[in-house]
Chain A
Amino acid sequence: MAHDWLTGRRRVAEATEGTPDCVPIYGPMPEHARYLTAVPTESFYTSPELFVEAQLLLFEYYGLDLPYLGGDVHNIEAEALGRRVIYRPRSAPLLEPGPPLLQSRTDVERLQTPDPHAAGRMPFALEVYRLAGERTGFPADRWFCAPFSLVCAVQGFPRVAHDALHDPAFLHGVMSALVERVLAPWIRCGLHQPPQSWAAIGHDPWATFPIISERLYRDFVWPYADMLHDSFAGEGCQVVLASGWGEARVENPIPILEERIRLRGALRGLDPDVQRLGPDLYAEVAARHGVALGLALDARLLRDGPIEAIVARVKHYIDRAGRNGRLSLIINHVPGDTPTAHLHAAVAATRLYGSYPIADNLDAIPFVMPAYEPFADFARRRGWALGQREGFPP
């Protein structure tokens, strides 16, 4: 029988607007899916069927609320422009470092729009959208590499840093060309892929403090996010950025959080920032702007445990940021070999402590680790033949 994806999706939608029955929990974990299903890196990230089916299997196994397909979404456009991707057994695909692709103004003028049906893994991404829609019954989230991260991927950060300081006009020219001739056509193509979607989210790992300064953020992240947003607003599509992280490293994080709300229409905090700044700050800023909040649980904590600490973290975030609704908990890119017990504990704790109305004293509610089926048994029941895992100790 097909899994019911709609109940969780409804819960997430309710948490975006107000108070659902329970705090939703979901998130991208492609490397964990790849590890558990023992699919080699290159096969996983080039076969739409494996990519979609393995991740959906995992979301179903843990009972997560949203089929949130992750992956190296930030590499797709740079690969289509000519950057080589390398595959290693224990990590997601990586862009091979190399010299800047656009060395001169002439190179920028000659920049061609990649063919989304032929360039790099763009066809793979389009097929992922189609398959995921078919399997879940609703359009998958569309992803793209945010302009600043794309220019870093195409040019290399040292060149971007150099141009930002010594030749900002050239860097602006490169970024405008990337937005107009690469990102906008690619996003438009992804949105039109059946089943059509109306929203795309830009992944921006390089827009992170202290990798960039507040000046770089202001001059080279925000304007191009606005450019993209505005160019799609007339088409009734919402194109937003899931900006990076690192706000705990700036003197005053609140303007950064507020700008992220402006760019995304919601607020998301990732550990270790949330740990350092406290969930109360994120909850207060989100409430002040009337937007939903997503707090990601520390990937290392989820991997290393112990279960008691994971449960305590879930409880703490719900206690401090979830009492008035509009909170989601995110499991964000945990390492492949994260023990399944740890993630079952995180989900069970979310269900236990995150059911509305939230109890006054969560500490008075004892957590009991639920029984769960080993993943291998679950996968076999679903027809998966698990192979030999590459790259990890037996």
Chain B
Amino acid sequence: MTEPLQELKDAVIEGYAEQATALARACLEAGIPAEEIFERGIIAGIQETGLLWDCNRYCVPDVVLAADAFNAAVAVIERQLRERADWPRHKAVLGVVEGDVHDLGKNIVSAMLQGAGFQVVDLGVDNPVERFVAAVRSERPAIVGIGAYLSTTMPLVAEILRALEAAGLRSGVKVLVGGVLTSQQFADEVGADGWAPDASSAARLALRLVGRGDDSTAP
């Protein structure tokens, strides 16, 4: 790997957002193609972060910083990436339910999903049920990720699933649920397609659900 790409990868892993931005810019100015910067610098960094999480060497703050650095670097090359016809291969819509502004987990999942090759449409926090339905209708994603982080807001996940069903959209999309109080049992009860205990697992699960379970791009 060329030195600037290695430095970019390290900046993502170490969670230096400003440095990652500057390095992504420097890579572009040096004539390195955007896809190579993305794959070998930014994606490689977030994948390594996922591995460090998996082996308990990273905790949430480390991953938050890496996700920030990832997003900062992606923003630099986003326009060039969008011009690629074959990228991304699948789309995911992510959002946190209404009455809930906890975006920590959702942001990490977003970075990990992008690292796994998904285009992520991020609805942000505090989304009413109708916004999820509208996003599925307009974006036609392969995956919808619903975050609910409070015992008082978790019941809204079931309402979103019912609304997708009522709108005739449920069968065309795989629904993942997440949040620190959620569980596989909760996912089963509300009729979701999957649940994962952390962002790294969520990305692997998303790949499995879209039929790319052995994909080596999974973080």
Contacts and interface: CB of A to CB of B under 8 A. Distances in A.
Contact of A157 (B104, B126, B186): B104
A221 to B, nearest CB: 13
Nearest to B182: A300
A337 B155 contact: yes
Contacts of A333: 151-152
Given A90-B153, A161-B15, A162-B65, 12 more contacts: A90-B156, A94-B99, A94-B101, A94-B126, A95-B101, A157-B61, A158-B65, A161-B64, A161-B65, A211-B180, A272-B183, A299-B152
Size bracket of the B interface: 20 to 34
Interface string B46-65: 00000000000001111011
A88 interface: yes
A300 B101 contact: no
A335 B59 contact: no
Contact of B152 (A161, A211, A336): A336
Interface residues of A, number: 36
Interface string A282-303: 0000000000000000011001
A335 B152 contact: yes
B35 interface: no
A259 interface: no
Interface in B156-205: 156, 180-181, 183, 186, 189, 198
A210 B152 contact: no
Nearest to B17: A162
A160 B154 CA distance: 26
Interface of A: 31, 86, 88-92, 94-97, 157-158, 160-162, 164-166, 208, 210-213, 216, 246, 272, 299-300, 303-304, 333-337
Interface string B110-127: 000000000000000110
A158 B64 contact: yes
B151 A334 contact: yes
A164 to B, nearest CB: 6
Contacts of A210: 59-60, 198
Nearest to A215: B59
Contact of A91 (B62, B68, B100): B100
Top 5 closest pairs, chain A to chain B, by CB: A91-B99, A161-B61, A213-B59, A299-B151, A88-B99
A300 B152 contact: no
21 contacts: A89-B99, A94-B99, A94-B126, A97-B125, A157-B64, A161-B61, A161-B65, A162-B15, A166-B16, A210-B198, A212-B59, A212-B61, A213-B59, A213-B60, A272-B183, A303-B151, A303-B155, A334-B151, A334-B152, A335-B154, A337-B155
